[in-house]
Structure 1
Amino acid sequence: MIRYRNLGLFVALATLWGGAFVAISVGLSYFPPILFAAFRYDIAGILMLGYAAVVVERWRPREPVEWGQVAVGAVLLIAAYHAFLFVGQQRTPAATAAVLVSLSPVLSTGFARLLVPADALSPVGVVGVLVGLAGVAVIVQPDPSNLLAADAVSKALVFCAAAAFALGSVLTRRLDATLPIETMEAWSMLGGAVVLHLVSLALDEPLEPATWSHPEAVGALAVLAFGASAVGFLIYFDLLDRLGAVEINMVSYVAPIVTAIVGWLYLDEAVDVVTLAGFGLIAVGFVLVKRRAIRRELSWEQ
């Protein structure tokens, strides 16, 4: 029963996070990108803080190192990641964005090794990172004669989102704080929302009052704030305790499949062969980088 429960939660999480990329594409038809991301985490942050206040004893940071961890999470995991993602996804299909973001676990390993020189990547691990980056190059298809082409820049921004998330994941783990993950996520969401609002104000993003009268716009925001963020992270916390980080990372490779299906059904977005090829390379890179941990998880070696 436990195995089926874990599988059901894993599929639910992949569905919520995969569908989120489609919800972003839908919502960007109505909201300016940075403000859209800020609204998402206004709601999700309040919900997560309420949850943290109920389930953990330490519902707010106290020590300077804990506030430092929250600050890193707010700036990199929430604000930078979503600013790059939402702006980039204005001209990037949902499935392509999901595939590019799936590079995050590979980049996390690369950043971890760079920040800890004594724990260098093995030659096979280096090859894995390079294969993953090759997958990004296949998807972006940069034209040396026109590197600033709108489509290439948009995909590059989504890649920057994956890099920001990967770096933030490494730095928050490196900080020696004992803050419960629920508390850290809640305050990071709220802090990230504040940063996103400030950026939106600086950019003077316009918001039409009529936006709130569109059910599709409100629905997209609800899917992101309640489904992908609030419910999604609760499932993530549960599975992280049950399965561990390696198996949870596999969500990054199931989510794009969900995105492709939902994007095709709802947005009529087709997934081209180039994106599939890039996805394959990124997945191979992940296996090469995480090969030892995957063997341990599958009990191939003791």
Structure 2
Amino acid sequence: MTDAHRSSRLLWLLFIALGFMWGSSYFFIKIGVEAGLPPLTLVASRLFFGFLVLVTVVAIAREPLPRSPRQYGHLLVMSVVNIVLPFFLITWGEQSIDSALAAILNATVPLFVIVIAPLFLPDEHVTLNRVVGLAVGFAGVLVLFAPDLGVLEGNNLLGWLALIGSSVSYALGNVYAKRNVTGLRPMIPALFQVTFALAISAVLALVIERPIGRVPVTRDSLFAVVWLGVLGSGFAYLLYFRILRDWGATRTSLVAYLLPVFGIALGVLLNEPVTPNRILGTLLIIGGVALVNSRYGKRRLFGAAATTPTGASAAPPTGARPERG
């Protein structure tokens, strides 16, 4: 076996490992929620462990820090839109929504990016493949939604809305990053967004949920936050940037398609159902995302000549913050 073949095989193994780390996040969020962790407390706890990993890596690598106050301001905004808000919405939503369903719904992020991006980015345009992809993707959401139409009420409905809201928030973060977070080495936005998000979520948790002395620390809850922080918010970054270096943003973003697969598979361990609607809905959403990012059908419908799609797959926003639920 040649060195090139070994390198290629290693990258594919890292790619699958990355998909598992991010795809398993929804599973471990559910475990943390069921173990009694309040949403903001869970978010702050996982970010603490993620921060420890990232600050260690950045210190060892001696990455240069941002010099402009404006850059720190943009990273602060990103920490809210791209971490605090979606993390909270996903965690809160999973109090009443299955982890597998959360993973599937979070795969809609690129669809919302395609809706939002043309409003703020002059080089993003409405093209035929994007319109068709949006239609197919949101048809998948409706297929998922259909079995619950007769029983959606109270927390169940709010859980659905929270998960959709998290996807919208990630999409906004992607667009904001493409417009404002540029010229930084990738690990720096990752570190400072997690740092700001940790500070914000910790303060909110202490003020609103008051977890100290009131939230029991169990083996399940501790394992969940350590997994989410060290792997999902820490080492997953390292894998992402390692793959990104050799594969580029477009190919690396294909990890998006693994997240619902791992989410559904791990949900079985929690006795969550694998229904025909979920399988069909997942396939439609993934198909819609694939169409949105397709090279074909880029004939513009409005605006100037079409450009490459934003590429905000259910994997992290490209060039901003590789982070997911």
- TM-score scaled by structure 1? 0.88
Contact 1:78 1:193 in 2 (8 A): no
1:271 partnered with 2:277: no
Matching of residue 196 in structure 1 with residue 198 in structure 2: no
* Residue of structure 1 equivalent to 2:289: 286
Equivalent in the alignment of 2:180 = 175
Q: Which moved more, 1:65-74 or 1:200-209?
A: 200-209
Q: Kindly indicate whether residue 54 of structure 2 is the aligned counterpart of residue 53 of structure 1.
A: no
Summarize the Cα distance change of 1:280–1:144 in structure 2 as closer, same or farther, 3 Å threshold. closer
Could you say which residue in structure 1 is the equivalent of 2:86?
81
Contact 1:77/1:164 (<8 A) preserved: yes
SS where residue 292 of structure 1 aligns? coil
Aligned-partner residue type, residue 42 of structure 2: F
243-252 or 93-102, which deviates more? 243-252
1:238 aligns with 2:280: no
Counterpart pick for 2:48 among 42, 48, 57: 42
Whether the 8 Å CA contact 1:65–1:175 is kept in 2: the answer is: no
Structure 1: give runs of 5+ residues left out of the alignment: 297-302
Match of 1:257 among 239, 256, 261: 261
Task: Give the structure 1 partner of residue 323 of structure 2.
Answer: none
The CA distance in 2 between the partners of 1:137 and 1:156, in whole Å, is 13
Contact 2:141/2:281 (8 A) holds in 1: yes
1:229 is aligned, of 225, 233, 236, to 233
Distance 1:215 1:37 in 2: 17
Deviation at 1:140, TM superposition (A): 3.1
1:70/1:187 contact within 8 Å kept? yes
1:1-302 aligned within 5 A:
1-29=6-34, 30-58=36-64, 60-117=65-122, 119-141=124-146, 148-175=153-180, 177-206=182-211, 211-212=216-217, 214-265=218-269, 267-292=270-295
CA distance in 2, matches of 1:181, 1:109: 23
In 2: Cα distance, 1:254 partner to 1:144 partner: 27
The alignment covers a number of residue pairs equal to: 293
CA distance in 2: counterparts of 1:26 and 1:90, whole angstroms = 10
- Tell me: CA distance 1:274–1:13, structure 2 relative to 1, closer, same or farther (3 Å): same
The 3-state SS of whatever aligns with 1:211 is coil
For the residues of structure 2 that align with 1:52 and 1:94, how far apart are their CA atoms? 32
How well do the aligned residues superpose, as a CA RMSD in angstroms? 2.5
- Using the alignment, how far apart are the partners of 1:102 and 1:54 within structure 2? 34
Supply the distance in 2 between the matched residues of 1:257 and 1:104 (Cα, whole angstroms). Answer: 16
C-alpha distance in structure 1 between counterparts of 2:85 and 2:52, whole Å: 20
Displacement after TM superposition at 1:180 (Å): 1.4
SS of equivalent residue, structure 2 residue 264: helix
TM superposition shift of 1:281: 1.6
Classify 1:244/1:118 alpha carbon distance in 2 versus 1 (closer, same or farther; 3 Å). closer
Separation in structure 2 between the aligned mates of residue 178 and residue 21 of structure 1, nearest angstrom = 32
> How far apart in 2 are the matches of 1:260 and 1:31?
23
Deviation per CA, 1:115-143: give whole Å up to 9, x if none: 12453121231221232223223323498
Choose 39-48 or 144-153, whichever is displaced more.
144-153
Q: 1:130 to 1:198 in 2, by over 3 A?
A: farther
Q: What SS does structure 1 have at the residue aligned with 2:295? A: helix
Residue identity over aligned pairs, in percent, reads: 26
Provide Cα deviations, 1:24-47, integer angstroms capped at 9, x if missing partner: 100112210111011111221232
Cα distance in 2 between the residues matched to 1:101 and 1:5? 27
